[in-house]
Each structure stands twice: as structure tokens, then as C-alpha cells.
A and B are shown apart, each in its own frame.
Chain A
Amino acid sequence: MRVAFLGATRGMGRALARLLAERGDALHLLGRNSDKLARSAADLEVRGAAGEVGTTECDLERPETFEAALTAAAEQLGGLEAVVVTAALFATQEELEADLDLTRRLLQVNFSRTVEFCERARHHLLAAGGGKLCVFASVAGDRGRKPMVLYGAAKAGLAAYLEGLDHRFHAAGLEVICVKPGFVRTGMTAGLTPPPFAGEPEAVARRVLKALDRGTPVVYVPAVWRGIMLAIRLLPRAVMRRIGF
């Protein structure tokens, strides 16, 4: 598979990109820091990626970089078969409540900029007759919850967009994969206390890869979070107001 990957330098994105590389897929990495991109590209090449792993700077806070990055990726790979987006901003609810600028940035990056990037990716994929668009939302978007009010709202919006995209363009050949990670032990969550059922990025990546290959529209990782979120969605509001989850 020929994959343009936004966010492959760390965490779940790094683990997923490694699985793609180790089975011999071709990758082009997009991200905001060229030094880190080059190091991750080297890592993926040693692991077995097909050909040279290209890199292009692309920053979700600078929408003017989107089109050029996707075009560069498509050119280097000889066409795109999949676009993966794992990049996002993260901050805790406390940090966001204390800083309206950070809140604005996070909502923008995680929702409107990501959607804008996906719109451009969709054009590229559909122009080539279809392909896969795999985007990381979050279980935080499944229901408004105390510890994830703002982050969750942006991810809820993103998940709704991805579902709509699936309905609208599936017949045209676009396969949309919305990944909903629960708590996963990565650099992003390094300062937080892991709950039970916390996942490891490698195991998560294996499950995402399966979903990516099959075109599964929604995938919870680790799998146990599907059940957890089902239960959370069924809880009455009076209960949600009381619990801290």
C-alpha cells in the first residue's frame, strides 16, 4: 500500500507506521518537524519500508501546507492509496479550562484543521478512483464527560464528520476508517495515571492495521473500550453528573 502518514513520528502513529513498513508498504511522512521526520523515515526504512521513505513538512496549524504536502506525497509514492492521520493536540481538561488560547488552538487543530486536511486528502484519493482515509478520533468523543469536555467535543465533531464522509463517498470508492483509542500508554499520556484497560501502542497498531486493511468504518482500540463506551453511553445523565469518569 502507498500511504501518506500525518503523525508517524510518535505514539500510536509511530507504531502503526512501523507495522506498515515491516510488511513492505511504501510510506511518505508528513509532520511539522523535518528533523524528527527524517529520523522516523530512517527508522521505517531500516524496518523494511518499500523504497525511500519521503518526508514533507505539514502542520495542522498551517492549512496552507496541506495541499503541497499531499501533492508531494502523491508524487513521491506514485499515487496515494491511503492517507492516515494520527496527529492531534492533547491537553487535560484542567489545562484547557485555565487557558482559552490553548482551548481555541486545540479545537481548531483537532476539528476544523483536521477536517480541512481530510477534505484535501479525500480529493486526492477520489481523483485516483478511491482509497482509504484512516483518522484517529477518540473514545472521548462518544459522550460528553467531566475529564474530557473540550478535547472530547472536538473529537466528537471529527467522528461525526468521518461517519458522514463514509456515507457520502463509500459508493465512490472512499473507505473511511475512524479509530477511537481509549487510554493508550504513549508519550501523550505519560503524565497521566493510566486507568485499568490501558493499552500499549503496538497492540493498538495491530488492531488498527487490520481495520485499515478491511476498511472497518469504526474501530475501538483496545477492543475492550467498545464495551466500556457502550456502557457509558447508556448511563443516565444523573449518574454521569456524579461520577468522575
Chain B
Amino acid sequence: MEPGSEAQASPSIALPGLLAAGSKHAATIHTVADQETLSGWGLIERPGREVRSEDLAAITVGAGLTRGLGRSYGDSSLPAAGTWVAASPLADRLLAFDQQSGILHAEAGLSLREINRLFWPRLWTSPVLPGTQDITLGGMVAADVHGKNHHVDGTFGRHLEWLLIRLADGEIVTTSRERDPDLFRATVGGMGLTGHILEVAVRLQPIPSPWIRAESERIAGVDEFVSALREAATDWPFTVGWFDALATGTKLGRGILMKGRWAQPAEAPVEPPSPKMRLAVPFTLPNWTLNRLSMWAFNKLYFHLHPRGVKTGIVHPESFFHPLDVIRHWNRIYGRRGFTQHQCVLPEGERPGAARRLLEELTARGGLSCLCVIKDCGEQGEGLLSFPRPGITIAIDLPAGPGIQELIDGLNRRVLAEGGRIYLAKDTFARAEDFQAMEPRLAEFEQLRRRWDPAGRLSSAQAVRLFGDGA
């Protein structure tokens, strides 16, 4: 992009937020971050700029998109060409918490990490806890995230009370199941494309203690995983499996099934868990760090380090819900090439063996992956583009680089053949035709988007790639 065109696109905002004690005639100061590129968690950089301020309402004026902590893997949180993105993490104030109802009202940039830190010791929890806590409330709504309790509690959207949104025309509105319900349904899981989410009201859940009573066991293969998850679902509110996608033959998809519930006070430590110490990957490692041998060894070690029998214990909630978060910047182990995640949900109930066939597809194509995740999903949420549906979801981290496009295309054709769909928050490489074939719901979503944003002001790099924005 030409520097000149960048300057035109960059906003010049008289930021009331910039100066703690300035006057109403605050200086006009450019707050566009210096870097010319942005990336998602997969570290694949794209041209783009973000504006960051405590005053989210101010910086969303004219912005094409709002992003939170940038944990979506691909280009969901990156701006379309010619626009910039507002960054919400500094807008992180709690605005109210009702002890009776459990309803938390907060600015959209508040992180789940902060919610966990503040509310677990008070015996309340976010109703949905995804694999990472380094995400914002706004991001949790936009991606309609799910967690280990999806089979019981559904997605994050189910627990929302209302949202405060800046629409594309600049107006700020409240939306809920009662007020403009179509806007609400499109915004939950709508990847930020219906409006800038400014504030969120969500109902937290009471917990008996802030510790987790966990059980885990080895599982011999992918088919066994599917039935083990189904069985565990009746007794356990939290279930998830890690599996080895590099094991072959009958061992394909072998792994560890983890089950958990909130511990009763009698079985838990008296003290609330203190936030875990975190290590960091200090710099981007060479591309060869993760190769077939190291991944194979890692997978094997992870499997065999687990005892043969059932392992039980009281564990720290961060270790149970967000195990990878203890290593900051773990995405750097993939090297400069970056990486992506392929996460899909397959209607295993209607098409038994779908999960196994996906793994066979991956193996046949020589896909390299460690730390793959498998989980059963419950009912579909109310969000128009919400990802989960009944079946089995599988998430596979894949290094980017030569061959990744063909690999993703192959996996997506398999997903399509099984009647499944992919998760936008993870996607970097899907082709528009594949995505659109998976998503019969897209037409209704696009229709609503056009109603609320007739001029097409809101977009993202992903919407350009998959929805045909700007075409």
C-alpha cells in the first residue's frame, strides 16, 4: 500500500481519552499504531492498522471493524483494505455486577482472564470458558465462543442479556432478544460485522468452589473417543479430548479424555486459586522447531506420560480450562511462517465415522499437527452464524507454508461431504466457494447485514475473502 493512501485512511481523532486532564480543546493527535501490518494469533501478517484507546465509543466512529485481543487465528480481526480497525482491550471497565442475578455489565474490551481473576474467588464464573482466557467479552460475543461445557450450556450467546452496539451509521443502540432481536441474532457469532460491540451484559454462573475436580484417561482411537465423549456427557459438565493425529492405523486419534466439574467446598482447598505464573516464548523460533519428528515425539510423550488408569484430582481452573495460556506467545514456536487452525464440526450422529474420515484425510495428505482437540457439541446456538451444531468438533493446528492451501482445501471438501462446517474464528485459508457451500445460513446473515449496514461500511479481511465483501 502506498504511504500516501495509508495516511488518508488513517483516522485523526481529537482523542478525549488521550490526556487525563486536558481540556475540551484537546490536541488532535494521531493514535494510529505505528506498524503497517496486523496479524491474528496465527502470526500471518497482513497490511492493516489499529487504533487503540480507553474510549472505545470514540475510536469506533468510522472504523471498519473492532478487534479485541487478536486471538482469532486468521484474518477475522483484520481490516478490509482501505479501512482500519478499532482495538478494544483498553476499554475494559466493569460497570455493574448484580450479586442476586449474577449479571455482569462491562465494556467490551474486558478480558476473560480478568473476569476469571476477579470472579472465581467470589464463587462466580463465566458461563463459557474457551481454550484461552486471553480474549475479550466483545470477541466472545462476536465469535459466539464455546467451551468444554458446550454439550450442557451451549455457546456464550445463550447467556447474554443484552449488547450495546455502535451501528455502521454511527448510532448506538441496545439489542437483546426483545429489542431488535434480528440484530441480536446476527451479532452473536457475527464476527463483528453487524456493528461495533461496545458493552456486554452477561449472566455469570454461581460455583460451589473455584477449583476443578478432574478425571482423565487414555483413549485408544478416534471412534472410541466419539463414544467416550458421548458417555461422559451425561455425568460431566466439562469434557474435552486431546488426540494424536500423527499416530496411524488403529491408533489414529488416540489421546487423553479430560472430564471435570466444579469441586465441592469439602473436597477443594480453602484458599482460592491464585493466578498462574506465566512463562513466555521470548522470540519467534525457527520454522524447523516443529517438524514431523518433534511433533511425533511430543504427541507420543504426551500420550505415554498419562498413566494407564484413570487419573483423578483437584486441579487449578486455569490448568483445566486454559492450559496453554501459561506459556505466553506460544504461537511463536511455529516460526516466521506462522500457522493456522482447522476447526470444524461434523454431524457425527447422522454420519457415524465422520470424525475418523476427517483424520484419515489429514493423514493421507501428510498433515502435520500436534495438540489436536476433539469435543462433542450440543444444540446449535441462536446466533445466525454461530459455529457449533450437534456433532463432533475437531481442531487441528497446522503450520503455514507450502502446501497449506491444498491441505485446507482437502479438509474442507471432506467437511463439506460430511455436512459439517468450519469455525470462522480459526480460519485463514478457506475458499469462498467452500465456505458458502457449508453455510446455507449465510444468505440470511448477509440480508440482515445489508439492512443494518446498507452502505457496507463494516467489513473484515475475512469477510472480503469468504463473504464476497467489496466484490
Contacts and interface: CB of A to CB of B under 8 A. Distances in A.
B309 interface: no
A10 B31 contact: no
Interface stretch (B21-29, B169-177, B295-303, B449-457): B21-29
Contacts of B95: 39, 42-43, 46
Contacts of B401: none
A182 interface: no
Interface stretch (B11-19, B218-226, B336-344): B11-19
Contacts of B27: 89, 91, 95, 99, 102, 105
8 contacts: A43-B95, A46-B95, A46-B96, A59-B21, A102-B27, A105-B22, A191-B29, A191-B34
A191 B30 contact: yes
B276 to A, nearest CB: 15
Contact of A190 (B16, B53, B94, B96): B53
Interface residues of B, number: 29
A211 B27 CA distance: 32
A231 to B, nearest CB: 23
A244 interface: no
Interface of A: 6-7, 9-11, 13-14, 31-33, 36, 39-40, 42-43, 46-47, 59-62, 86-91, 95, 99, 102, 105, 109, 186-188, 190-193
A60 B29 contact: no
Nearest to A22: B118
A187 B90 CA distance: 7
Contact of B22 (A11, A89, A95): A89
A59 B31 CA distance: 23
Contact of A40 (B22, B34, B93): B93
Contacts of B30: 191
A61 B21 contact: yes
Contacts of B29: 91, 95, 191
Given A187-B54, A190-B33, A86 B20 contact: yes
Nearest to B32: A191
Contact of B18 (A7, A60, A187): A187
A13 B17 CA distance: 13
A10 to B, nearest CB: 4
A88 B21 contact: yes
Contact of A109 (B22, B31, B90): B22
A7 to B, nearest CB: 4
Contact of B93 (A7, A13, A42, A99): A42
A53 to B, nearest CB: 12
Centre residue among B32, B52, B107 by max chain A CB count within 10 A = B52
Given A42-B96, A95-B29, 20 more contacts: A6-B20, A10-B90, A36-B16, A40-B93, A46-B94, A47-B94, A61-B22, A62-B23, A87-B21, A88-B19, A89-B21, A89-B22, A90-B19, A102-B27, A105-B23, A109-B22, A187-B31, A187-B53, A188-B19, A191-B32
Nearest to A38: B95
Nearest to A33: B16
Interface in B46-70: 51-55
Centre residue among B19, B21, B30, B107 by max chain A CB count within 10 A = B21
Nearest to A193: B34
A40 B31 CA distance: 22
Contacts of B19: 87-90, 188
B23 A187 contact: no
Nearest to B87: A190
B22 A32 contact: yes
B21 A43 contact: no
B330 interface: no
Contacts of A36: 16, 55
Contacts of A47: 94, 118
Centre residue among B18, B31, B90 by max chain A CB count within 10 A = B18
Contact of A42 (B31, B33, B52, B94): B94
A90 B18 contact: yes
Given A40-B93, A42-B94, A9 B34 contact: no
Nearest to A202: B114
Contacts of A191: 29-34
A202 B149 CA distance: 31
B53 A32 contact: no
Contacts of A40: 93
